[in-house]
Amino acid sequence: MLFAFICKDKPGHLQLRLDTRPEHVAFLNGLNDAGTLKFAGPFLDDDGKPCGSLVVVEATDKAAATEISGNDPFAKAGLFESVEVQPWNWVFNNPASA
């Protein structure tokens, strides 16, 4: 089952994002290597600067997805103002269904 993490950064925390990014990227690479990560990337503000994240993972249930989300170095560093973990159905342009 797929889950989307919709993460909003705390205002004024761009430097924390930049400082924590190497650990975050390593975390996502590990999820990718395990086949868990489907895709990810930052939301951008009006100035083109990152202000949040969209991450989609495969997990057995919402509890497992929530645990993955909580292990993200960005979450552990206190970057996020909010995180939603939502079940998600990839209907269009899903390479697995091609």
**DSSP letters of 38-78?**
EEEEEEE-TTS-EEEEEEEEE-SSHHHHHHHHHHSHHHHTT
Beta carbons within 10 angstroms of residue 58's beta carbon = 17
Nearest to 82 by CA among 64, 97, 63, 69: 69
Whether the predicted pLDDT of 98 surpasses 80: no
Please write the tens of the pLDDT for every residue from 76-90: 999 999 999 999 999
So what's the pLDDT on residue 97?
Answer: 79
Kindly state the average pLDDT of the residues 41-50.
Answer: 97
Summary mean pLDDT of the chain? 97
| pTM listed for this prediction | 0.94
Query: How confident is the model at residue 32, as a pLDDT?
Result: 97
- What are the structural domains of the chain? 2-90 (3.30.70.1060)
User: Amino acid identity, residue 18?
Assistant: L
